Structure 1
Amino acid sequence: MNVRLILLPLAAALGLAMAAPAAADDDKVPYWASIDAEIANLRVGPGDSYKIDWVYRRPHLPVKVLRREGPWRLIQDPDGAKGWMRDLLLSRQRAAMVKDGGLIAMHAEARGGSPTLWRVEPGVVGLLGECKDGWCPFDTDGHKGFVREDQVWGTGAP
């Protein structure tokens, strides 16, 4: 008997078994995501036939995914608005938005005593790195530094 005929189905079965945990992680909600399109429609229900409630024109805007229904995601934006968006318009790329309350400092290092590189105003959106000890790497249009975790929306447990 040809060994390849036996090994191919075995390898395929092993690959499917190993992929199952990753697929299960995708089903867990809530989770953080970001808008991954120049224009993204928020609908009142999970389908193209539902009315468009809001049109986003802000790539990388952080959102919280609250529920899944097929290819649709119930999301919440930083202002608290909720609605349905297609999964193709979202990315697992973490992002954050500076909260209201005035300018915040973006530091050179993840500590308060480090030099301030920039002052960032409320509403600015940037890509977010892994937060540690209350500080997060933050990149807004190539301006990179560290911000305090409590000054941006899109961090912590969703």
Structure 2
Amino acid sequence: MALCGAALAAEEKRGQVTNLPLPRFVSLKANEGNVRRGPSLTHRIDWVFKRRDMPLEITAEHGHWRRVQDRDGAGGWVHYALLSGVRTVLIEQDMAPIHTRPDAGSPVDAAFELGVVARLGECTPEWCRVSAGGYKGWIEKTALWGVGKDEIRE
């Protein structure tokens, strides 16, 4: 039985190794992570990610290797041991207000600078709970990279 185009589009793409959704977000577990041209130690290192907890997007899998990209689309192949399922996000708006509740009218507890890496908590369709530097609260999802536009987290 063949699926029609709409049903096929609704079907999630899954990794051939983990059977987890692709693309998906993870974070860098290590202080440094070699980014290789291909999925093996014999492939050349193109550059090194040097920011622990940085959010990354997995776009493909091959054995113990994951093809990842950062906020700017830079990436390559990284060994899975360097990645963590702990979710983080990158603040994409300078002095982004962190609210006490998921409501623009609620009090602001803090403001995060552009480029801050924050731990991701629950998300509604428009807001996410984040924490960084001892501060926590709610931020509009549009100010973040590292969470899906339609992603809901509890």
* Equivalent residues, number: 135
Q: What code does the residue aligned with 1:95 have?
A: T
Deviation at 1:55, TM superposition (A): 1.2
Distance in 2 between residues matched to 1:49 and 1:142, nearest whole Å: 41
The root-mean-square deviation of aligned C-alpha atoms, in Å, is: 2.0
25 and 46 in structure 1: CA distance in 2 versus 1, 3 angstrom threshold = closer
Alignment equivalent of 2:117, drawn from 110, 113, 125: 125
Distance in 1 between residues matched to 2:37 and 2:122, nearest whole Å: 32
Structure 1 runs not aligned, ≥5 long: 1-23
Distance in 1 between residues matched to 2:65 and 2:133, nearest whole Å: 29
Please give the secondary structure, in 2, of the residue aligned with 1:130.
strand
1:134 equivalenced with 2:126 (yes/no) = yes
Distance in 2 between residues matched to 1:60 and 1:105, nearest whole Å: 21
Residue 46 of structure 2 corresponds to 53
Distance in 2 between residues matched to 1:115 and 1:70, nearest whole Å: 47
Residue 31 of structure 1 corresponds to 24
| 2:56–2:71 CA contact under 8 A, matched in 1 | yes
Alignment equivalent of 2:139, drawn from 138, 147, 158: 147
| 2:17–2:62 CA contact under 8 A, matched in 1 | no
Distance in 2 between residues matched to 1:55 and 1:25, nearest whole Å: 24
Residue 4 of structure 2 corresponds to none
Please give the secondary structure, in 1, of the residue aligned with 2:102.
coil
Deviation at 1:25, TM superposition (A): 9.4
Shift >4 Å, 4+ stretches: none
Please give the secondary structure, in 1, of the residue aligned with 2:61.
strand
Alignment equivalent of 1:104, drawn from 96, 99, 113: 96
Distance in 2 between residues matched to 1:133 and 1:74, nearest whole Å: 27
Deviation at 1:82, TM superposition (A): 2.1
Q: What code does the residue aligned with 2:140 have?
A: R
Deviation at 1:32, TM superposition (A): 1.0
Choose between structure 1 and 2: higher helix proportion.
1
Distance in 1 between residues matched to 2:41 and 2:52, nearest whole Å: 21
Please give the secondary structure, in 1, of the residue aligned with 2:123.
coil
Please give the secondary structure, in 1, of the residue aligned with 2:66.
strand
Summarize deviations over 1:66-117 as a string: whole Å, max 9, x none. Answer: 0000000000111111200000000111110011x43211111111111111
Structure 2 runs not aligned, ≥5 long: 1-15
Q: What code does the residue aligned with 1:118 have?
A: A
Q: What code does the residue aligned with 1:135 have?
A: W
Distance in 2 between residues matched to 1:112 and 1:145, nearest whole Å: 12
- Percent identity, aligned pairs only, is 35
Alignment of 1:65-76 (within 5 A): 65-76=58-69
